[in-house]
Amino acid sequence: LLIIVLVVVLGVTLNQERGQFESIFISRCEKFKEYDCQNVWSVFQEAYINKDPCKVPTEAYDPLIAAAPFKPACNRMMFWSKTKDVVHDFTEKTDCFITLEDTLLGSVLDGLTWCGKEGSSATFTTDCPGWTQCDNNPVRSFWNRASAGFADVACGDVTAMMNGSLITPFSPTSIFASIEVKRFNSSRVRNLKVVLVMQKNAVANCTNMSLKNLEEELDQGINYDCKEVPESQIKECSVHPEKPCGSCW
Ligand code: AVW
């Protein structure tokens, strides 16, 4: 009995020392069987621990990307801009596409905030700089670096869901425009297929100026097409995951 009590007390103590952020990180990571999550966690921490939280450049995450590299999933990679909820509702329920948030690193850190502090070896989850407060903050630098890595392995037919309720669906300041599109390489990517998600209040269509800019920005040799798809149609596909992948739009 004494031994059992000791083991439980020790376990609880260790768990508290682990911290809530680390626990979330490890438990989300463990859903991916092929990784050493304790190692991924320690490489992740190295990027921002004991640093000024406005001085974490994107390159700080290079070792993390090397430790858990993105795998190419030709014809199945899905990018998005300002359509987070409808995209993930669809990709979670169906097995057609993979977004950054379905990969190990993307899913582990989705929705989380973290930063370090000079002179401390701890991870903080409050009082961290906001997305636009300073450019080189740990969260923004991570998403910039991870998006670049994900776009680097894009291949075959690539899909992107954009928001038809915006006057500028392809916004120059978005990660999709400023990082991902620039890294699509015509030796790997054959087509960019834009799905413009149309809600009732849609203001843009495929002739939109910003989408023309997107088409022009693509590496020579990458084909472009755009399709206006009602949001209700995508949601209908999410509730009928048995439908073949090519039949939704
Ligand atoms: P987005 P992106 N404060 O919908 O093209 C906090 O604009 O940029 O699409 N978080 C923010 C802020 C902000 N001001 N702005 C952006 N974010 C975060 C990765 C937030 O998590 C995928 F591969 C928001 O949900 C897509 O193809 C997310 O950035 C592409 O990048 C996306 O903002 C989507 O980036």
Mean pLDDT of each 10-residue bin along the chain, 249 residues long: 64 63 97 96 98 98 98 97 97 95 98 98 97 97 98 98 98 98 98 98 97 97 98 95 92
Taking the CB of residue 195, how many other CB atoms lie within 10 A of it? 24
pLDDT of residue 18: 77
Q: Please give all residues whose beta carbon lies within 6 A of any atom in ligand 1, as ranges.
A: 79-82, 84, 100, 131-132, 143, 147, 150, 174-176, 180
pTM of the full predicted structure? 0.93
- Hunting for tokens 């463990």 — which residue is that? 30
pLDDT for res 204: 98
What pLDDT does residue 4 have? 64
What pLDDT, on the 0 to 100 scale, is given for residue 206?
A: 98
Centre of ligand 1 to C-alpha 240, Å, is 27
Query: Which pLDDT value is given to residue 12?
Result: 54
CA distance 130 to 107: 20
The tokens describing 164, both together, are 């038809």
pLDDT number for residue 169: 98
- Best mutation site among 175, 179, 182, 193 for ligand 1 pocket (most ligand atoms within 8 Å of CB): 175
As a dihedral over the C-alpha atoms of residue 31, residue 68, residue 56, residue 151, rounded to 10 degrees, the angle is -100
ipTM greater than cut 0.95: no
- 98 three-state secondary structure: strand
- CA–centroid distance, residue 81 to ligand 1 (Å): 7
Residue 154 has, within 13 A of its CA and on its CB side, a CA count of: 32
